[in-house]
Chain A
Amino acid sequence: MNTEGSFKKELRDWIVVRNQKIAPEDFDDDTPLIQERIITSLQVLDLVLFLEELTGSAVDVEQLKPGAFRSVNVICASFGPGGQRGG
């Protein structure tokens, strides 16, 4: 099972691999990911699939609330160990 720390690390690693223009030091855990284009709008569905893989359960995109992917910390709070799911 993921710990909160390993969940966050896997998420950050996924972002850096996906966006090759971004280095780990270019964004912190509160950086607005979509607004700052750390994640592009075309990558959000891939992020949904990644979160499903990481958590082992489906994400209902119709239940996603505005801001649910705002930052690494927000994603961890919603989808990480003990998270509320769906933001």
Chain B
Amino acid sequence: MKDFKQEKTRVDQADRTIYNVKDRLDPAFLMDSGITPEIVNQISKEKNEPEWMRLFRLKSLKLYNEIPLPTWGPSLDELNMDQIVTYVRPKSTMKAKWSDVPDDIKETFERLGIPKAERKSLAGVGAQYDSEVVYHNVRAEVASKGVVYTDIESALTGPYSEMIRKHFMKLVPPSDHKFAALHGAVWSGGSFVYVPAGVTVEIPLQSYFRLNAPGAGQFEHTLIIVEEGAYLHFIEGCSAPRYYVANLHAGCVELYVGKNARLRYSTIENWSKNMYNLNTKRASVEEGGTVEWISGSFGSHISYLYPMSILKGKKARMEFTGITFAGEGQNLDTGAKVLHAAPDTTSHISTKSISRDGGNSTFRSVVTVTEKAEGSKSAVSCESLMLDSISRSDTIPVMDISCNQADIGHEAKIGRISESAIFYLMSRGLSEDDARALIVGGFAEPIAKELPLEYAVEMNNLIHLEMKGSIG
């Protein structure tokens, strides 16, 4: 007699060995934990910043102390800011050659495959270790087109200082929310990219952020300006070894997409599972411009991540493609926001999420269409797959429409693997296990195909699906 006891599909963790290697803690400078005006002044002094930035940091700190924690989203009660070290300077200044980077730090990035990727498929690389950028380089042929790719501290005091001052935290003002204010106060590291008008950067640039110090925060700032008619693909990767104390990532990304320009921003987020990932990303898109967000969220203990696009020019476009994979001990609250503020603008949000082993995945979005956005179109689609009944998957979209000449569509689906799909595939000759493997694998495929090949491979490693028996 057939045993009807069914084994659950196993969706295993990826092998995190390469991410979990912990370097010996050997910084050149380690700030006291907590956040005070003295610490903020000290960070500014360490960086030899202009006075306006020091004042900006202090103003942000004041806002940080005034703004309450969010009353929605995953609980942040266990995040004790008094125990977070906001600044850790590694024992290396920024280098333009990997051979000049200290061996232990270089080995970390070697293990993560960054120098190899740079040689094979990138136009430039920035590598940040704890609070400072340790490596930055851009190919000569790209630099010769006028493309600037450097760490943001150098840009702040160099020939682009006025450009930085004009754009820095203008899209994401410190008053936006508590962790934007925190970022304004203690930001450190990150990248500045400037692509002149009409220039196409044919192969991507990448910044990789590695947080090694336990109990530390990483607050890098990424500022990208893509001028009229230009194109750039920027890739952001991040990881950290797992510790038993909370780490915090409160970075900020500001993207300025010019008229008829196009910017593709890909992120593979693979923080360790003690990380609070409270990142803020925002893009401003001028007439005819396009911003494309590709986002894979795999790591972190708790995430709040909702890239926002402000479509301020006529016919501006945004596309957001994201996947979230929440496993044991993870509460990942992710999604996207878009503001249609000009006529004939278009947005398309497509997300997938998988919850398993008690993981909690939430899709959260807001689509706002103002009175000015006549002829605009928006489509939102989110699909969630639940792999067991101890996990959660929630969908919380908002549509705020103040224009009667717009077309807005939204659809969401949640559930398990369709029995009829399995039946169909089995009728075509596949075994039940193969049919289930094909369906689960195919669920994430639309996202994987948007990624550069090596990142698609990394994602497939992260979602390693081992099929045993059946779901249900």
Q: Do A and B come from one complex?
A: no
Q: Which residues of B pack against A, CB within 8 Å?
A: none
